Amino acid sequence: MDGTLLDTEKIYFDSLVAALDAAGYVDDSVALCHAMVGLPGPACEAMLLERYGKGFPLADINRAFLLNRDRLMEAGLPLKSGTIELLDALATANCPTAIVTSSSRRNAERHLSLAGIRARFGTILTLDDVTHGKPSPDLYLLAASRLGFAPKLCVAVEDSNHGVAASHAAGAITIMVPDMALPTEETRAKCAAVLPDLNAVVTMLYERGAL
């Protein structure tokens, strides 16, 4: 969802960097936030506590992050290029789809609604549905089960290294459309393709006969 269909990762990134900088944690805030891209909230919080110690004001940083995020989102929640084209192509082909996100159920529902695409999905799997979020494969395994297909028959479209690790570990055919984090060599090896945008995903699915 975030960074793949919705252009939200930069909003999250800028909001957290601003919260850390305002609290005086300026030395490596940018690098640390880059390492968090694609991870669920609890994992990000664990990274912050590990980096800055038990005295880190996590609750204050979270409040500042949310204030920054909501302020930026007031201007609207944009879609990534090719989102509507991909969803239209999948709908035309009667292809079942699922959202598989590290976000909470509340945030997923809110953000998909703000972006105007909530009604496109009957199956939405979030961090609230599993014990272990990405890069664990649990969310993708659950999504495949809900859709009624073996994971190896499913195509996962991901934007982050952690997301690719999750879908690949589940056994899904993985396409990466990088957002903020460029793929590592290890990530590239796990992908059927690394493409520039979702329009390229649509083209590839047609060329391979998937649609």
pLDDT at 132: 95
Question: Mean of the per-residue pLDDT values for the chain?
Answer: 94
pLDDT at 140: 98
CA angle at 48 for the pair 19 and 60, rounded to the nearest 5°: 40
pLDDT confidence of 77, banded at 50, 70, 90?
confident
Residue indicated by tokens 């919705």: 6
Please answer whether residues 38 and 161 qualify as being in contact, where contact means their C-beta atoms are separated by less than 8 angstroms: yes
How far is the C-alpha of 2 from the C-alpha of 177, rounded, in Å? 12
How far is the C-alpha of 135 from the C-alpha of 165, rounded, in Å? 5
pLDDT confidence of 45, banded at 50, 70, 90?
very high
pTM above 0.85, yes or no: no
pLDDT tens digits, 138-197: 999 999 999 999 999 999 999 999 999 999 999 999 999 999 889 999 999 999 999 999
Largest CA distance in the chain: 55
pLDDT at 76: 74
pLDDT tens digits, 109-120: 999 998 999 999
pLDDT at 9: 82
